[in-house]
């Protein structure tokens, strides 16, 4: 895959590597920031996509995460807080052939830009929205974000946050996103796989990436990412496969009516008894996104990662282009006729 040539280019197009996607700009994230890993995986995946570099555009908002475009040797725009999704919509609408990626933080896309995010998803522009969720405002130095857990003590919530957080994937489902997935910075393989899937999906892809902000919210996702707890606390979704987790996949999830339940395979359950993952099933996907338990709470379910939902439906920019083609076929664009209108009079 890595070696594959650009499809739209001639056979002589140079084979690109991750290096070709790096820029000469000094990367300015804090040492240890999860953003580094995401950047590395994106730079690795990009050359494998078969997309000429000049056709790739990365649009970001404002936040630590939104510095991303400066480090990618593609076209890029570091815009204003919360609006990357809307900018990308206009770009994609007028240039459907471009591969448009949006890089955004939890504050950027779910707080100030929440409105544009849901509208981008419902319209289903064929773009890739990467939400770097660190459950904190990094750039402004550590205020709670709309994904921060309740009671969180931050600079702006010394007595604990009283906000109820968003469940980003449930929100995306609610906005009728056609692709909904979750991954994490600390699992490069999975992250790469999810980036590939995100790119493959035709339509608006919502990829939430758990990202550690080691300065203001260190360890927020530790239970999911660290060796000791990862197997117990995470559930990796695979199409057509039973929902298994735990050390040696000794546990599974079974649907009891509409309620997911943990079962031990040792108790005589087999894979056939378990929930089989089907990315196309919108009802099950809704339930999956609702598996969002606080890992500190007794009897909680493991947090799912992977592709929750994928659905093929027409993209906005395609329909828009079709309408224009239709209109052109029906009526030639005659500017003189337009300016003249129906009724004129002549003065001699």
Ligand X SMILES: Cc1ncc(C[n+]2csc(CCOP(=O)(O)OP(=O)(O)O)c2C)c(N)n1
Residues from 73 through 132 that contact ligand SF4 (CB under 6 A): none
Quick check: 71 binds ligand SF4 (CB under 6 A)? no
What's the CA gap between 142 and 108, in Å, rounded? 14
Residue 93 or 287: which CB sits closer to other proteins? 93
Q: Determine if 33 is a binding residue for ligand SF4 (CB under 6 A).
A: yes
* Interstrand relation of 179-184 and 205-210 (parallel, antiparallel or unpaired): parallel
- What is the contact mask toward ligand X in residues 60 to 79, using x (rule: CB under 6 A)? --xxxx--------------
Tell me how far apart the 2 most distant CA atoms of the chain are, in Å. Answer: 99
Residue 215 within binding range of ligand SF4, rule CB under 6 A: yes
Exposed, middle or buried by CB within 10 Å (0-12, 13-18, 19+), for 101? Answer: buried
236 backbone dihedrals φ, ψ, rounded to 5°: -90, 120
Among 55, 111, 214, 311, binds ligand SF4 (CB under 6 A): 214
Question: Interface with other proteins includes 59 (CB under 8 A)?
Answer: yes
Total of residues contacting other proteins (CB under 8 A): 59
Q: Binding pattern to other proteins, positions 305-344, x when CB under 8 A?
A: ---------------x--xx-xxx-xxxx-xx-xxxx-xx
Distance between CA 221 and CA 295 in Å, rounded? 10
Near ligand X by CB under 6 A, which window of 46-54, 128-136, 176-184, 265-273? 128-136
Overall size of the chain counted in residues? 348
- Identified binder of other proteins from the candidate list 55, 140, 232, 249, rule CB under 8 A: 55
Tokens of 53: 């570099």
Residue 13 interacts, among ligand X, ligand SF4, Mg ion, none and using kind-specific CB cut-offs from 5 to 8 Å, with none
Q: Which is nearer to other proteins, 72 or 131 (CB)?
A: 72
* Angle, vertex CA 75, rays to CA 112 and CA 173, nearest 5: 40
Least distance (Å) from other proteins to the CB of residue 95? 4
Print the binding letters for residues 136-175 with ligand X: x by CB under 6 A, - otherwise.
xxxxx----x------------------------------
The SS3 of residue 277 is coil
Pick from 106, 126, 187, 233 the residue near Mg ion by CB under 5 A. 106
Residue 124, classed as helix, strand or coil, is coil
Q: Which 131-160 positions form the footprint of other proteins (CB under 8 A)?
A: none
134 makes contact with Mg ion (CB under 5 A): yes
Contact 191, 37 (CB under 8 A): yes
- Cβ–Cβ under 8 Å, residues 131 and 102: no
User: In the bound complex, which residue of the shown chain has the CB atom lying closest to Mg ion?
Assistant: 105
The values of phi and psi at residue 143, to 5°, are -85, 160
Return d(Cα 233, Cα 144) in angstroms, integer. Answer: 24
- Reduce the secondary structure of 61-73 to three states and give it as a string: CCCCHHHHHHHEC
Helix (H) or strand (E) holding 304: strand 303-310
Q: Which of 113, 138, 146, 203 binds ligand SF4 (CB under 6 A)?
A: 138
Give the nearest distance from C-beta 223 to other proteins in angstroms. Answer: 36
User: What's the DSSP call for residue 112?
Assistant: I
According to CB under 5 A, which one of 34, 47, 69, 105 is a site residue for Mg ion? 105
Binding region for ligand SF4 (CB under 6 A) = 29-30, 33, 35, 64, 134, 138, 213-216
């Amino acid at each position: 895959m890595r070696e594959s040539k650009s499809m739209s280019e001639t056979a002589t197009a140079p084979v690109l590597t991750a290096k070709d996607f790096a820029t000469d700009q000094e990367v300015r994230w804090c040492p240890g920031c999860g953003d580094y890993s995401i950047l590395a995986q994106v730079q690795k995946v990009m050359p494998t996509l078969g997309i000429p570099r000049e056709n790739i555009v990365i649009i970001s908002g404002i936040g630590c995460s939104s510095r991303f475009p400066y480090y990618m040797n593609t076209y890029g725009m570091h815009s204003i807080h919360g609006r990357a999704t809307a900018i990308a919509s206009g770009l994609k609408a007028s240039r459907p052939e471009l591969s448009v990626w949006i890089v955004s933080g939890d504050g950027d896309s779910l707080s100030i830009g929440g409105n544009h995010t849901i509208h981008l998803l419902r319209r289903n522009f064929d773009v890739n929205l990467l939400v770097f969720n660190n459950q904190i405002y990094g750039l402004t130095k550590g205020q709670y974000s709309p994904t921060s857990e309740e009671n969180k003590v931050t600079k702006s919530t010394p007595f604990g946050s009283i906000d109820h957080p968003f469940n980003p994937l449930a929100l995306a489902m609610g906005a009728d996103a056609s692709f909904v997935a979750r991954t994490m910075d600390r699992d490069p393989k999975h992250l790469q796989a999810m980036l590939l899937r995100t790119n493959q999906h035709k339509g608006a892809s919502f990829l939430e990436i758990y990202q550690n902000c080691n300065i203001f919210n260190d360890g927020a996702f530790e239970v999911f990412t660290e060796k000791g707890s990862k197997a117990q606390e995470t559930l990796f979704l695979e199409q057509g496969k039973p929902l298994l987790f735990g050390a040696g996949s000794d546990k599974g999830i079974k649907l009891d009516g509409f309620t997911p339940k943990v079962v031990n395979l040792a108790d005589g359950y087999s894979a056939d008894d378990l929930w089989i993952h089907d990315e196309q099933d919108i009802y099950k996907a809704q339930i999956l996104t609702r598996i969002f338990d606080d890992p500190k709470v007794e009897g909680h379910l493991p947090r799912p990662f992977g592709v929750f939902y994928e659905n093929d439906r027409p993209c906005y920019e395609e329909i828009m282009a079709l309408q224009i083609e239709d209109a052109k076929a029906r009526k030639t664009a005659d500017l003189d006729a337009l300016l003249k209108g129906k009724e004129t009079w002549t003065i001699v």
